[in-house]
Amino acid sequence: MTDEYMTDDEQLEQVKRIVAENWLWVAGGIALGFALIFGYRYYDGYRNERALRAAAQFADMAAAVEHNDAAKARQLGAGLIQTYPTSPYADQAQLALARLSIDAGKPADAVAPLSQVMNNSKDDELRRIARLRLARVLIDQGKPDDAIKTLAEDKPGTFAAQFHDVRGDAFYAKKDMKDAAAEYTAALAGAEMGGVNPGLIQLKIVDLNAAAAAPAAASTGAAAPPAAAPVPSPTNKAKP
């Protein structure tokens, strides 16, 4: 008998019979649904709690840095990285530890934390920041080829001008004036994207031209033109 020919009572009895025959499956489905909802809420709450703890610990680390307590900052940073390794605050702690190493005159100690963020961070911006800072460290260590290689392994996006700028510093350190000039010019052309100081890059180009002109003047016996003002070395000393 089809449903359309059944009376209301007959349809009700049919529903009761189906429920009676399948109550275990129905109850199991309901229980599973509640378990999934409860489990998700528990996990979401647990994750939020860990995020808040990581944020609080990073805030403590930042306060220690602000108060020039490097030892405490390192301790808090190491603990944060160990306890919350997948948190974005762990990446920030790695960058802060690298900065502390630079400030302490130990640039070699900055390589590991910067490499960690560059290779493993889930944040594209942080990866590029770490790449730039690592390249600067390598230039200061007298490893411009490694710096160039480091910067060649990424698509810089909005960081393009900064990548050109630091690559220019690396080529200048190699005394490759032609490629340095090309990189500085590209950095200047992309300065509107931000992240670089157009005035400083122009000074670097002036310094570059003066350095390139000096050997030519010496070879002809002519005096090199005097510099209008002292110009800093193009090597970017910005600290991580």
178-230 pLDDT, tens digit per residue, is 999 999 999 999 888 888 899 999 999 888 887 767 665 555 554 444 444 44
- Tell me the pTM: 0.70
105-110, long-range: CB within 8 Å, 24+ apart, which pairs? 107/137, 107/140, 107/141, 108/141, 110/134, 110/137, 110/240
Q: What pLDDT, in 10s, does the model give residues 27-83?
A: 656 666 655 665 555 445 556 777 888 889 989 999 999 999 999 999 999 999 999
**pLDDT surpasses 70 at 2:** no
Domain ranges of the chain: 55-122, 143-240
Q: How far apart are CA 59 and CA 51, in angstroms?
A: 12
Check residue 230 and give its pLDDT.
Answer: 44
Considering the chain, what percentage of its residues have pLDDT values greater than 70? Answer: 68
Q: What pLDDT, in 10s, does the model give residues 118-160?
A: 999 999 999 999 999 999 999 999 999 999 999 987 788 889 9
Q: What pLDDT, in 10s, does the model give residues 5-25?
A: 556 566 666 656 665 666 555
Note the helical H segments in 67-123.
Answer: 70-83, 88-103, 108-120
